[in-house]
Amino acid sequence: MKLPPGAQVELVVVDNDPDAPESAPLPDAGGLPARRLREPRRNIARARNAAVAAARGAWLAFVDDDESVHEDWLAAYLAQLERMPCDALFGPVRACAERPEAGGLEWLPFFQRGGRASGTRVPWSSAATNNAFVRRSLFADIAFDPAFGRSGGEDARLFGVLLARGADFRGCQEAEVCEWIPPERLSARWLLRRAFRGGHVHGRIAREGSPARVARAVLRATAGLVAAVALLPLALAPSRARSLRPLLRVASASGRIHALCGGRFEEYAEREA
């Protein structure tokens, strides 16, 4: 990891496996000072909160465990902060096949997240912890909600609250990460399930508002589903990848309505210790 002079960095790894041994070794930290924490309650929000509580720096850099970063990743974030101070920066995610020889590469573009141009504002829909650089002081009175630990979306909910408070989120194109996609995810079925879950998460968040706001959200989601269904003839396109796009819109809108109507959808298993 290349760092500018004077930059101090620590690596905090949270082991969220309740069956992991106490003495499990740290991953290769590339020479950075590193600490390993255990959060035995299987819940992604609790794991993130443990990392935030243990971190000692003024800034928190988030990356997922199925991603890799290049040597200038942190330097790019720090350079962007020098050019334009803000409360958080978000970089792009490039999809990389874990086993290209296994096929399914036609679905790889659906995992790409190009991010926002450097210095431009980042909306709620583009703010996620899979590639983020966030001012630690933002967490003074807020944490990732464990209620979203089985469904995902704990980061979307938290960043939505921060944006509503007036936080300034910006893009940083130079801070790219690579997400390694396993073969079992390179399928239309998995992508449709992910689209439903994404819509469901946004529906759950919208359901936390006032009755009037929830009613408006239901109307918008219903209109979105009707529009998505109207586009279904495009699913007859000769390209399988092109034909999937209208189906993803239907899955996302359906997930949103399902959540707004009180439905539950838990993608991830959780065991409380």
pLDDT of residue 54: 93
User: DSSP per residue over the chain, as a string?
Assistant: ----TT----EEEEE--TTS-TTPPPPP-TTS-EEEEE--S--HHHHHHHHHHH--SSEEEEE-TTEEE-TTHHHHHHHHHHHS--SEEE--EEEEES-GGG--GGGGGGG-B--PPBTSB--GGG--TTEEEEEGGGGSS----GGGTTTS-HHHHHHHHHHHTT--EEE-TT--EEEEE-GGGSSHHHHHHHHHHHHHHHHHHHTTS-HHHHHHHHHHHHHHHHHHHHTGGGGG-SSHHHHHHHHHHHHHHHHHHHHHTT-----S-----
Name beta bridge partners: 95.
179
Per-residue pLDDT band at 222 (split at 50, 70, 90)? confident
Flag whether pLDDT at 273 surpasses 60: no
Per-residue pLDDT band at 270 (split at 50, 70, 90)? very low
- Angle among Cα 242, 243, 246 to the nearest 5 degrees reads 100
Instruction: State mean pLDDT over 45-69.
Output: 93
- Whose structure tokens read 């269904």? 229
Most confidently predicted of 1-15, 53-67, 210-224, 236-250: 53-67
**All residues at 6 or more sequence positions from 80 whose CB lies less than 8 Å from its CB, including other chains:** 89, 118, 119, 170, 172, 174, 175
Flag whether pLDDT at 269 surpasses 80: no
Mean pLDDT in the chain? 88
Flag whether pLDDT at 21 surpasses 80: no
CATH superfamily of 11-185: Spore Coat Polysaccharide Biosynthesis Protein SpsA; Chain A (3.90.550.10)
Per-residue pLDDT band at 26 (split at 50, 70, 90)? confident
pLDDT of residue 83: 96
pTM strictly above 0.85: yes
Per the structure block, which two tokens stand in for 62?
A: 């988030």
| Contact (Cβ atoms closer than 8 angstroms) between residue 69 and residue 177 | yes
* pLDDT tens column, 147-182: 988 788 899 999 999 999 999 999 999 999 999 999
Instruction: State mean pLDDT over 34-53.
Output: 91
Q: Map out the domains of the chain as residue ranges.
A: 11-185, 188-260
pLDDT of residue 235: 63
- Alpha-carbon distance of 206 to 225, in angstroms, equals 16
Instruction: State mean pLDDT over 242-260.
Output: 88
